[in-house]
Amino acid sequence: MSSPTPILSPGFDKAKGFPAEHLEHVVSYDEAEKQHPHVIGDLKQVDEAAKVMAEAGKVEYTLAEDKAVLRKIDTWILPVLCIAYLVQQLDKSSVSYAAVFDLREATHLKGQEYSWLTSIVYLAQLGFQPLSSFALVKFKMHHWLLFNMLGWSTVTAASAAAHNFAGLATCRFFLGMFEATIAPTSVAITQMYWRRREQSYRLVIWQIANSCAAIIGPLLSYGVGHAAKSGKIHAYQAIFICLGLIGVAAVPVIAFLLPEHPATAKFLRHGNDRAIALERLRDNNTGTKNSTWKWDQVRECLTEFKTWGWALMFLCCALPSGGFGAFGGIITKGFGFDAFEAVLMQMPTGAIQIVVLIFSIWLTNKIKMRFPVIAVLTLFPIAGAVGLLKVPRDQPKSLLGCYYVALILGVLQPLMYSWANLNAAGHTKKVVTMAVAFVFQCVGNIVGPQVYLAREAPKYYTGIYVDIAFWCLLAILALVMGAHLKYLNKKQEQRRVALGRPAEVKDTSIMSLEEGRAYKEELRLALLAEGKDVKDMNLESFDDLTDRQNPDFFYVI
């Protein structure tokens, strides 16, 4: 009697280079590897989730079980992303807080040297972004994140030893080198654990950590600055040491909480939790992780309009943000406030951004569209920046109000993350798509501070005019991208029709759990009436296919 042939993925077929035979029996992955090594070898080409799904077979679960697994993921993974992002933002912003406490004077910075302390961080990120992208495919994500987090926190603390531009620039370069991984890694982890609708909320939650840093950072700097007034070191040195040590202390916490993959997560050991955690991602059609670098996915990514559309949009977000981020404290100090008042005036910006972010992501999921929300939000920083140019300098309260309105710019980049990361599939392609976007983001953050000319302090007219121009371009690009993604969805519909699949179906991955289940039942009954089966959909979710290869993929507009 012949041994059973294992089911490894319902998407195996000749078109993708997999064995053509239909597989009938489910056995364990280890047993399958002994019996059919040629089939198992093809698993290197599919998603790492395929192993768990092969062993689990058909996975059915209730709404209550779905929510229970989601709660566990939120409890363990969200704090990791929030802590990591909070720490890196505090460390990156440390030079801005230090500048308020006479960093420039104590280290004898001249001309554009202070601007370069911000630009050089992103110059390093630009250079190390390709390495980070490759590492996210080949290495274990949690090890890579921990290594870099320890690196950037140590460098921040060591910055206290720098006494001139050369020393500060060296520290800031290494800071950027280690921080190059934080955004790509956080996006990749988010894609690995949550459905696409859930990703929007969770991504915004860990991005809110940036806004929390805008509250916590000034408070810490205020306290440390006061404490250091009578000490043996400068206030700016104490700020670097304090913020750096906070990051070092957070490393063991993240090491304890963060698993490598849902398939190995210890907090998902109960019952069928791991299989449910993966099955609930099937509607995404984006997979979780694959450790094989696929050059065909790289080529596909780099020849698409939307890849370069995201890149330009990230550039338009980052360039104004880089300038405002580096010069925010100096701008407010120029309204007539002293150093302590100026640093405290940064705190409301975090609260404003948190409120606007929460409302914006709620609205995008309510209307199930991203592009109109982003286009409208660009009008606020444009209005605030125009106010900074036009309001007389003897009206500090009005100027401060304009400054706060302009800093709504801080919500644009998180919303871009939550949009761009939903619109690519295939692990290598996802990583490269975001890497290209991050490269352009780095370019924006390099150039942004340079257009704030030292001779124009504290008004910085040139920088503000440039920022307004890029926000206007961003609004136009958002509308263009929305139209392009709608066109791509039409093409996907035509592909499904050609394959005999239902054409006018909805994307359940951007629905709530209740909406998704109700719609699937409605669709099942409608297809049964036509002699079709809803189970024919989303069969290739874990085959590591790209969005262009998988006809069941939906683009989120």
CATH code where residue 397 lies = 1.20.1250.20
Q: Helix (H, G, I), strand (E, B), or coil: what is residue 25? A: strand
Q: pLDDT, tens digit, for every residue of 308-354? A: 999 999 999 999 988 876 777 677 777 777 767 776 777 788 788 88
Can you state the angle between helices 182-193 and 113-138, rounded to 10 degrees?
A: 40
Instruction: State the DSSP code for 185.
Output: H
456 falls within a domain: yes
Structural contact between residues 272 and 55, judged by C-beta atoms closer than 8 angstroms: no
Write out the two tokens for 155: 């460098």
- Say if residue 372 is preceded by a cis peptide, omega within 30 of 0: no
Predicted confidence at residue 311, as pLDDT, reads 97
Structural contact between residues 68 and 308, judged by C-beta atoms closer than 8 angstroms: no
Structural contact between residues 551 and 499, judged by C-beta atoms closer than 8 angstroms: yes
Can you say how many angstroms the Cα of residue 484 is from the centroid of all Cα atoms in its chain? 22
305 falls within a domain: yes
Q: Which of 65-69, 261-265, 537-541 has the lowest mean pLDDT?
A: 537-541
CA distance 173 to 184: 19
- Residue 484, domain extent: 63-488
Q: pLDDT, tens digit, for every residue of 269-310? A: 888 898 899 888 888 877 666 778 899 999 999 999 999 999
Mean pLDDT score, 117-140: 87
Write out the two tokens for 478: 């958002």
Burial 298-315 (b: 16+ CB within 10 A, else e): bebbeebebbebbbbbbb
Write out the two tokens for 280: 């609930």
Q: In one letter, which amino acid is 443?
A: V
Write out the two tokens for 405: 């309105």
Q: Which of 21-35, 39-53, 168-182, 517-531 has the lowest mean pLDDT?
A: 21-35
Mean pLDDT score, 126-139: 86
Q: Which of 34-43, 432-441, 514-523 has the lowest mean pLDDT?
A: 34-43
257 falls within a domain: yes
Predicted confidence at residue 14, as pLDDT, reads 32
Predicted confidence at residue 255, as pLDDT, reads 94
504 falls within a domain: no
497 falls within a domain: no
Hey, what long-range contacts does 467-471 have (CB within 8 A, 24 or more apart)? 467/319, 467/320, 467/323, 467/324, 467/381, 467/385, 468/382, 468/385, 468/386, 470/315, 470/316, 470/319, 470/320, 470/444, 471/316, 471/320, 471/378, 471/381, 471/382, 471/385, 471/409
For tokens 């961080």, name the residue. 121
413 falls within a domain: yes
Structural contact between residues 389 and 460, judged by C-beta atoms closer than 8 angstroms: no
DSSP calls for 111-151? TTHHHHHHHHHHHHHHHHHHHHHHHHHHS-HHHHHHHHHHH
Does the pLDDT value for residue 20 go beyond 70?
Answer: no
Number of domains, the chain = 1
CA distance 153 to 327: 22
Per-residue pLDDT band for 16 (boundaries 50, 70, 90) equals: very low
CA distance 80 to 76: 7
Structural contact between residues 27 and 38, judged by C-beta atoms closer than 8 angstroms: no
For tokens 């566990």, name the residue. 72
Does the pLDDT value for residue 235 go beyond 50?
Answer: yes
515 falls within a domain: no
Does the pLDDT value for residue 17 go beyond 60?
Answer: no
Does the pLDDT value for residue 541 go beyond 80?
Answer: no
506: left (phi over 0), alpha (psi -120 to 50) or beta: beta
Structural contact between residues 322 and 444, judged by C-beta atoms closer than 8 angstroms: yes
Predicted confidence at residue 481, as pLDDT, reads 98
pTM above 0.75, yes or no: yes
Q: Which residues contact 24 (CB under 8 A, 6 or more apart)?
A: 4, 5, 7
CA distance 80 to 526: 42
More confident residue, 135 or 20: 135
Handedness of CA 42, 139, 137, 208 (dihedral sign): positive
Query: What proportions of the chain, in percent to the nearest 5, are helix, strand and coil?
Result: 75, 0, 25
Sequence-ordered strand ranges (E) for 162-212:
none
Can you say how many angstroms the Cα of residue 534 is from the centroid of all Cα atoms in its chain? 32
149 falls within a domain: yes
Predicted confidence at residue 46, as pLDDT, reads 57
